[in-house]
Chain A
Amino acid sequence: MRFKYGMLAPLIAVFVAVVGFPLLYALYLSFTDYKLTDRGAPDIVGIANYASTFTNASFWEAFGVTALYVVVAVGLELVIGLAIALSLQKQKWARDVTRSMLLAPMFITPIAVGLTFRFLLNDQIGAIPELLRGIGINYDFFGPGRALFTLAFIDVWQWTPFMVLLLLAGLESIPKQPLEAARVDGGGPWYIFRRITLPLLAPVLVVAILLRALDALKVFEYVYATTRGGPGTETQTIQYFTYQTGIQFFRLGEASSMAFVVLAVVLTVIVVAFRRLERNRSA
């Protein structure tokens, strides 16, 4: 007993200090009118912050923007990632080099990725619009109606490798017998993929989608590096909006309440996802 808890205690102590206490303190802040510019103790304002967050049209707009971003980015990452993972699985030539190279983007600091693409996709001096002009396409990547998809494209560049990493591991842990049995029975590649590979891969797929979606929800660096929320408020994501409320407008109480609303939504999504997963497993 003494050994068990003696070993656990330092972990719990640090965890409470860096996560538990700040979390409770944030909850307290969300019920106050704390401003960074204030002196002295802030006033308790009850649920006023939550009320104004719930009625804040910009907040829900940012929510919608973020949701669209997550769906587009993670959807593409799933399809492309699965195709690349299937291709890599059969790759024999220069196997380790290919894998390491294709996985590299996920280890780069996102601000560097954002700035790189801001430069590369720039309308005047960017290499990619210039290449497109060479084949007769004029496309402004950061124009109205396009900027959010450009950000999703940047996300795809950086995080498809994460999908590949998980899906490849999932593919390699699939038992070989059902695949061979289907092949002996004359099943074509598409049939085998649809009826055998995909169902066996399902648990890994769900985990990969969930992890990516949760991370994509936090998108901040690409917005900060490229559009700063523009044009208009088209690319104002939830994390960027909270940052602006808290840091640029000093309204920490209100920003904290926003963060908790986001957290509540995220937890709901996770619980629903796990419920469905459990049900599928027992069915």
Chain B
Amino acid sequence: MRRVSGLAIARIALLWAAAIFVLFPMIWIALASFKTPSQLNDPNLVFFAPTFASWENVLSSGILDAAGRSAIVGLTTVLISVVVGSSGAYVIAKYRAGGTATRFGMLAAQVLPPAVLVFPFLTMAYALRLNDTLVPVIFAHLSFVLPVVTWFLIGFFEAVPRSLEEQARVDGFSRFGAFWRVVLPQVLPGLGAAAIFGFTLSWNDMFYGLILAPGKAAILPVAIAGFNTFRGVQLGSMSAAILIAVIPVVIASFFIQRKLVQGISGGAVKS
């Protein structure tokens, strides 16, 4: 009995330590966004009169425009991925369309180092005079969001029982009608999770944005990195910008965590 209670204490201590470890950096950044530049140089400062100067500075620096561009890229990417991904994933899951090759291709694409694809995107963007616009960024983001979303959806469609479509066909639905009106509503929670996850992947990616649109069309992560190099380090503004980027996706993530495992494992693990 004693050993078990020792384990229980270790378990609770570990979780508390992990919680502090996770929360401390976030809280510190939140505090930093309300400090003055001289206060930022004092690493012991926890209690102070908050100033909103950093927030005013960052909000007038065009960070919201960058966030808007990131949202456009994310939404466009996810919309295309969900539309072509759901119809494709459905026939891959239920009609074995494209054999194992398509399925494998979706998985293999997630392994490609971004450095392989980024240079073709860059030279094509130059050739079409689309460099430093959102178009090549959307293309590049599709290259990793589409395979992930499709991979998620294949798993979700496979979890839908066959009898459901057979019944729909008996009831007089066309093949497409059975997909659109009967099966798709069944996977809607999974579809939503895949869409949110795809959006966070796009929203969080810096590598493609940095290379394909480093200037006037900079997306949010690139704009945040700019606080580090442009006119020295502006720690307060940088902290505020980080919070702007982080808060929406962390909130969104709370809604999809249950579906995420099932999606990542391609439906192999259910939760």
User: What residues make up the interface of A, taking CB atoms closer than 8 Å to B?
Assistant: 3-5, 7-8, 10-15, 17-19, 21-23, 25-26, 29, 34, 36, 83-84, 86-88, 90-91, 98-105, 107-112, 115-120, 124-127, 129-130, 157, 161, 165-166, 168-170, 172-173, 188-189, 204, 207, 211, 214, 217-218, 220-221, 224-225, 239, 242-243, 246-247, 252, 255-256, 258-260, 262-263, 266-267, 270
Q: How many Å lie between the Cα of A180 and that of B102 in the bound state?
A: 42
Query: What residues of A have a CB within 8 angstroms of the CB of B41 in the complex?
Result: 124-125
Contact B225 A224 (CB under 8 A): yes
Q: How many Å lie between the Cα of A107 and that of B252 in the bound state?
A: 9
Contact B7 A104 (CB under 8 A): no
How would you classify the secondary structure of chain B's contact residues: helix, strand, loop or mixed? Answer: helix
Contact B88 A109 (CB under 8 A): no
Q: How many Å lie between the Cα of A133 and that of B120 in the bound state?
A: 49
Q: A19-B117, A22-B117, A104-B253 are in contact. Are A109 and B206 (CB under 8 A)?
A: yes
Contact A99 B257 (CB under 8 A): yes
Query: What residues of B have a CB within 8 angstroms of the CB of A126 in the complex?
Result: 43
Q: A26-B116, A90-B11 are in contact. Are A112 and B246 (CB under 8 A)?
A: yes
Tell me which of B80, B206, B211, B257 contacts A14 (CB under 8 A). Answer: B80
Q: How many Å lie between the Cα of A152 and that of B139 in the bound state?
A: 31
Query: What residues of A have a CB within 8 angstroms of the CB of B52 in the complex?
Result: none
Query: What residues of B have a CB within 8 angstroms of the CB of A266 in the complex?
Result: 111, 113
Contact B204 A109 (CB under 8 A): yes
Q: How many Å lie between the Cα of A225 and that of B109 in the bound state?
A: 26
How would you classify the secondary structure of chain A's contact residues: helix, strand, loop or mixed? Answer: helix
In the complex, per-residue mask of B136-154: 1 if CB is within 8 Å of any chain A CB, else 0: 0001101100110010000
Determine if B264 is an interface residue (Cβ-Cβ < 8 Å).
Answer: yes
Contact B105 A26 (CB under 8 A): no
Q: A110-B204, A115-B225, A166-B264 are in contact. Are A19 and B97 (CB under 8 A)?
A: no
Query: What residues of B have a CB within 8 angstroms of the CB of A91 in the complex?
Result: 11, 15
Tell me which of B115, B122, B200, B205 contacts A262 (CB under 8 A). Answer: B115
CB closest residue in chain B, given A29: B119
Query: What residues of B have a CB within 8 angstroms of the CB of A15 in the complex?
Result: 105-106, 109, 146-147
